[in-house]
A and B are shown apart, each in its own frame.
Chain A
Amino acid sequence: MVSDALVVSGLTKSFGATRALDGLNLRVVAGEVRALLGENGSGKSTFIKTLSGFHEPDPGGTVTVEGEVLAFGNPEASRRLGLRFVHQDLALVDKLSITDNFFLGSHFPTTLGTISPRRARDEVKRALESVGLDADPRTTVGELAAAERTGVAIARAVHGLRSAHARVLVLDEPTATLPDEDVNRLLDTVRAVSARGIAVLYVTHRLDEVFRVADSATVLRDGREVLTTPVADLTLEDLIRHLGGDQQVRPGAATAAARIPGAPVLQVDALVTGRLRGVSLTASAGEVVGIAGLTGSGRDEFCAAVFGASERAAGQVRIGGKVIRSLRPTEAIAHGTGYVPANRRRDASMPYLSARENVSISRIGEFWKFPAIRRAAEKMSVSGWFQRLNVRPPDGVEREFRTFSGGNQQKLVFARWLRREPRLILADDPTQGVDIGTRALLHRQLVEAAERGTAVVIASADAEELAAVSSRVLVVRNGRFVTELRGDEISVSEVSRHLVNPKETQEGPTP
């Protein structure tokens, strides 16, 4: 008789009018590995943050861990009941040893007030072995392979020194940033944890892993559980169908279908950078080219390298026929390119400058007439963009950029480039972390720009987004474009299906 490790019933969490979780039910038994799947915005991260005590859910729902009721909104209570979390950011200090990382934030074992290195080491050694890791605790974390680092974070999460036993381990996309060859080792670690009777909630976008490591799978959509099944009864096609829901029709106004592309604007030839191993692409005026790929495929490196934000190892980029050198954003901009980076905070925001300054920086000369920048004209122009993109608050032109919500900040970044009427827009995950309304608005902007003759290249982790805006989709796998989908071939399920190598999953469904 196995006991219930985690029981969730009727869990609801609203943000204003939006329900991120809508009466979620879930039951996981001790030692079970449960894959938790769902598109972006399906409620996975809200669920995890509710378990960890970051969010307080709406009244009514309950969570019990081995029969004990969880007090919400209190990270310490979550920990006491035995909930453990390993996020994508592992929270390890690269420069310190494994041992130091283990005891940061808890207590080193001491003898008469002095740290006892041997006891500390032995303890860490045991913790590592218990999850199947064979590493010297004195090793600096920065020297470890990516999978081992994740393993260390897992070992630290489940080892039972400081408080109660770990009962449920939540892994939030642990393989998202791992190279393929490291994934197997991590999956071994997960199996070792489950063998100790700890339930594992395994969040992933890599569908093949579901078949390789999970006992059962739960699919979330719109904050609800839409499927829970043993993996033995599951096929990849089922899974994709449940993930995408009934949205076989392409959502949004973006019927990019019947557009005839114009002259080529962007020509990329044999581009090599990071994980990308020689990709070529031509984007023409009036088309929206989607680039799909799992995290780690190299998808997220394409736009930055083309624009010049990151270095290119090889390959040629031409915009409007002109060769653009590596690491020269000014050249790309001069030839009519706009770039929406994935990491807004790091790459696109000047947080303490006003919205006005953030928007007009892309072309300030327009307002300059000796002896001064014409502030009134500048303000009026930016106000126009506030209206056009429905930026809130509408009178916030002079407010500091950081005071805007994420979605509105993203609108300002769009305005920065749209006002230049670029002939090429490179957008990297342009709607991550923004609400649904803003997302639709930004998609419309991209499609309308294309209709005016701009070439748009959009790289996204989100198949739904690509299906909504693209006139063709290129799929990246292991650093290469492997498939091209056009017109009617483009759908959420079709894109998702190509993200994973079919060969990897054929051997999958073994119990």
Chain B
Amino acid sequence: MSPTNGGTSKRRLSLGFDRFSGLYIWALFIVVFSIWQPHLFPTGATVHSVASEQAISGILALALVIPLAAGTFDLSVGASINLATVIVTWLQSSHHWGMWPAIVVTLVVSAVIGGLNAVIVVVLHVDSFIATLGTASIIAAIQTIVANNNQPLPPTSTAWSNLTQRDVAGFQIVFVYLLVIAIVLWWVLAHTPVGRYLYAVGGNPEAARLSGVRVGSWVATSLVASSLLAGVGGIFFASLLGPSLTYGQGLLLPAFAAAFLGSTQLLPGRFNVWGTLIALYVLATGVKGLQFVTGVQWLNDMFNGVALVAAVSFAVWRQRAAVSVRRTAHSAGAAPHEPSPGTEDPAAVGLTEEGE
């Protein structure tokens, strides 16, 4: 499979070993583990538990996809999801708020955090990677102040536990929430002008600006959206599993792994919703299968770390392969009508714009 063609004509003909590789690997995992652990692995229970366990991670990964589409990092979502969990339970259990007011305030706080990120990135022009690394630490500090380093007690209302502790066709309802969020986000990114603007900004902010796209507004919007979605994930987590002071940071890396691996799937080179979910569940299936085989603790970390590095390496390799093939074509005289190659050096494009 040639990784070089950017056109669709060849893509349609091929089996798509690059853009559908995740699905093939997924199938491989399922077959291998079904043979290996025929009694444990291929069961409805496995399907339900993998789907539900990954729902919160999935929401976080989707939160990341929004700013990443606009070429912007949000490393603060891990801290945001944590803070949301603590605030929403603390308001209910320590301050006896009702569920809905607590949720609304939590979402407002999340949006404010996103706004803070936006100000630092858009107005102060701090690189988003650094900016959100910094705010992540600030958010963690705020969380400690709010919680006073004590894990708040879980609220006791039934409405609160009913929010997530329900099943739909054997799946926990958070999985359904994940699907709803995914559909909405897919619609926004793939089928509305908003998605076009975000991808344009991610594609080249200067060109987007000079084409009339309000680059600053869209970057800001994407950061607010990612924080909000992290807040939503935090609320679900709190309802489902109770308050926790630390789990959020642990979700950050798997979420990035899924988003980056997802950008090699379906629409290679582009952060996209369904690719991200496929990546997430491929990784989760692999981890689950191995857990049946062996009980070691380090599997998850190892799997996600390897996946993140592999995904990014693959994306880089793909671009570089494309560049070197084009080069060869040039020197062989296949692209003759450019007497001044200095003006169009694909290598420079490939290497400098390789944001992934």
Contact = CB atoms under 8 A, between A and B. Distances in A.
Of the four ranges (under 10, 10 to 19, 20 to 34, 35 or more), the interface on chain B belongs to 35 or more
A488 interface: no
Contact of A416 (B203, B206, B211, B326): B211
Contacts of B6: 399-400, 402-403
A372 B190 CA distance: 9
A360 B211 CA distance: 10
Contacts of A329: 209-210, 212
A18 B339 contact: yes
A402 B342 CA distance: 15
B199 A353 contact: yes
B192 A353 contact: no
Interface in B172-218: 187, 191-193, 196-197, 199-200, 203-204, 206-214
A93 B322 CA distance: 28
Contacts, number: 126
A307 B212 CA distance: 11
B104 to A, nearest CB: 27
Most A CB atoms within 10 A — which of B203, B211, B340, B342?
Answer: B211
A433 B187 contact: no
A361 B344 contact: no
Nearest to A359: B211
Interface string B1-22: 0000111110000000000000
Given A16-B337, A399-B7, A406 B344 contact: yes
B213 to A, nearest CB: 7
Contacts of B341: 54
Contacts of B326: 403
Contact of B203 (A350, A371, A432): A350
A353 B187 CA distance: 18
Interface stretch (A59-67, A110-118, A176-184, A362-370): A362-370
Interface string A307-342: 101000000000000000000011001100001010
Interface in A83-113: none
A15 B8 contact: no
Contacts of B8: 398-399
B162 to A, nearest CB: 31
Nearest to B204: A350
B333 interface: yes
Contacts of A405: 335, 337-338, 344
Contacts of A350: 200, 203-204, 207-208
Interface string A356-391: 010011101100100111000000000000000000
Interface in B315-356: 326, 333, 335-344, 346, 348-349, 353
Interface string A214-243: 000000000000000000000000000000
Given A15-B337, A46-B339, A405-B335, A353 B344 contact: no
Given A352-B353, A432-B343, A361 B200 contact: yes
A330 B208 CA distance: 11
Contacts of A395: 9
A458 interface: no
A435 interface: yes
A362 B339 contact: no
Interface of B: 5-9, 187, 191-193, 196-197, 199-200, 203-204, 206-214, 269-270, 326, 333, 335-344, 346, 348-349, 353
Q: Which 7 A-B pairs have the closest CB atoms?
A: A16-B336, A350-B203, A400-B6, A433-B343, A372-B191, A333-B212, A403-B6
10 contacts: A15-B333, A334-B212, A341-B210, A347-B206, A353-B200, A361-B208, A368-B193, A399-B6, A399-B7, A405-B344
Given A347-B207, A349-B207, 8 more contacts: A329-B209, A329-B210, A350-B200, A350-B208, A353-B200, A403-B6, A403-B7, A435-B339
